[in-house]
Amino acid sequence: MHKEGDEIHVTEEEATAAKGHQHLRYILGISLFLIVIAMSIVWIIPALQT
């Protein structure tokens, strides 16, 4: 990281050095799976009752 006047320049590695990218994939995947199951239940149960 270096400063040129009022601008601060960082490398790509410094800009993306935050942790936590991997666990977000698991959270999104599990959430998507649960939403699909819930929407299927909401759709299938009324269809079975008719």
9 within some domain: no
Residue 23: other Cβ atoms inside 10 A = 9
pTM (two decimals): 0.54
12 within some domain: no
Average of per-residue pLDDT across 9-16: 81
3 within some domain: no
Q: What is the pLDDT of residue 18?
A: 64
State the sign of the Cα–Cα–Cα–Cα dihedral 5, 11, 14, 17.
Answer: positive
* Average confidence score pLDDT of the chain: 86
**Of 15, 33, 17, 16, whose CA–CA distance to 25 is shortest?**
33
Q: What is the pLDDT of residues 16-37, one digit of tens each?
A: 766 656 788 899 999 999 999 9
47 within some domain: yes
Instruction: Give the residue numbers spanning the domain of 46.
Output: 18-50
> How many domains is the chain built from?
1
